[in-house]
A and B are shown apart, each in its own frame.
Chain A
Amino acid sequence: MLNIDSVNKGLVIDHIQAGKAMQIYKYLNLDKMDCSVAIIKNAKSKKMGKKDIIKIEDKINLDLDVLGFIDPNITVNVIDNGEIIRKINLELPSAIENIVKCKNPRCITSIEQEIVNKFKLTDKEKKIYRCVYCDTAYEQN
């Protein structure tokens, strides 16, 4: 088992679906961070078989909507003095802004770049988000 130093003060993003860590790294702009960031891919998990984990050695303000949108099963552990002081369970956000773009070529957002890309959750069970302008469903892959 690969060993990564424990986080003393910061955040651990756990239970990421295996293979999705880099997507989250990108969405959260972690490449622009100055602190230590560890990405663990395909870690063994009793619950999931294998999972990804991201450890961040700093207390940053995470956009929980982004994380919830990508995968509401993710958990975020807030660490202080090497201990978990808070566990945050995510949920699907009711709306998201400027996280993803509408892929409908007939949508007004396809020609006017400055418009805020907004999606709203229309079906919680099936996790369907629709563009507020054209109602096109966003396909997550």
Chain B
Amino acid sequence: MLKGRSLIEPMDLSLEELDELLNLAGKIIENPAAYADVCKGKVLATLFYEPSTRTRLSFEAAMLRLGGSVMGFSSADSSSAAKGESVADTIRTIACYADIAAMRHPKEGAPMVAAMSTDMPVINGGDGGHQHPTQTLTDLLTIRTLKGRLDNFTIGLCGDLKFGRTVHSLIKALSRYENIKFVLISPEELRIPDYIREEILIKNKIEFKEVERLENVMDELDVLYMTRVQKERFFNEADYIRLKDSYILDAEKMENAKSDMIVLHPLPRVNEISTEIDSDPRAAYFKQAKYGMFVRMALIMELLGVEI
């Protein structure tokens, strides 16, 4: 039971708890109307110290579709943080008004500090470059729903693997399942951090390889997780020009992909996935956004301990 707990990082959940959560999300997808009133009378506070339209609206939509209410702020300027109030004091106050909170904060660990300061469940909605557990839950639900399993597949993670927190969380989460192979596609300077390589992949004897070009590995992948590579992340212009097209997914690259591969992206996309792919049945990134709402519905229900 997750009732009364907080979700700060994806590994806070055991595999059994994760399964239970994803099962509930699956049931909600099948029959959303059955869950339309389960959170009636409950209030979700969205405490967003930095803007994130997508994540905040996904949380709010989730609570509204469960019949609950939402309140909150969407920038630090419009909260008492602007007056210098600590995260701990803010959450203690909010806990007087709300039943559950989702927090995004530019400083890493802020949602953990909040969770340690209150008995109200706190959900980390992204803390700096650190964790974004509901994105990971979204990714897991999407893979499980579309591929039918969370084990025995090869996943390619492409783009900025150094600073991309969604990538780090997803690697950690998938490393607990059987026979997952990772193909890590990035320029050399944007490879996964050493601690992910050593403390997660090598330590758990997980098969992985690091490559520079997406086009060379397309046919190996069951899942392709795209992220954006920003020009300013490259160390020099020459490397950027040499490699930039390799991190853009287009119809030509898709020709070499398996017919049942799925393409994921945490969104927002800029140009790393060509819009010509959008109509390809393997493009799953907009479905993924929808699953994000369903998994947040399941999470809110579990943390509040409400049942159908």
Contacts and interface: CB of A to CB of B under 8 A. Distances in A.
Interface string A86-124: 000000000000000000101111111011000000110
A38 interface: no
Interface string B118-134: 00000000011110000
A132 interface: yes
Contacts of B108: 104, 106-108, 133-136
A131 interface: yes
Looking at chain A's contact residues, the main secondary structure is loop
A137 interface: yes
Nearest to B131: A135
B199 A131 contact: no
Interface in B86-113: 86-88, 105-110, 112-113
A114 B107 contact: no
B204 to A, nearest CB: 13
Interface footprint category on B: 10 to 19
Interface string B263-276: 00000000000000
B199 A133 contact: no
With a 10 A CB-CB cut-off, give which of B87, B106, B129, B195 has the most chain A CB atoms.
Answer: B195
A123 B199 contact: yes
Contact of B109 (A122, A123, A133, A137): A133
Given A134-B128, A134-B130, A135-B130, A109 B109 contact: yes
Given A108-B109, A134-B128, A135-B195, 4 more contacts: A108-B87, A111-B107, A115-B113, A133-B109
28 contacts: A104-B108, A106-B106, A106-B129, A106-B130, A107-B109, A108-B87, A108-B105, A108-B109, A108-B112, A108-B113, A108-B127, A109-B109, A111-B107, A112-B88, A115-B88, A115-B113, A122-B199, A123-B199, A132-B109, A132-B112, A133-B108, A133-B109, A133-B112, A133-B113, A134-B108, A134-B109, A135-B108, A135-B195
Interface of A: 104, 106-112, 114-115, 122-123, 131-137
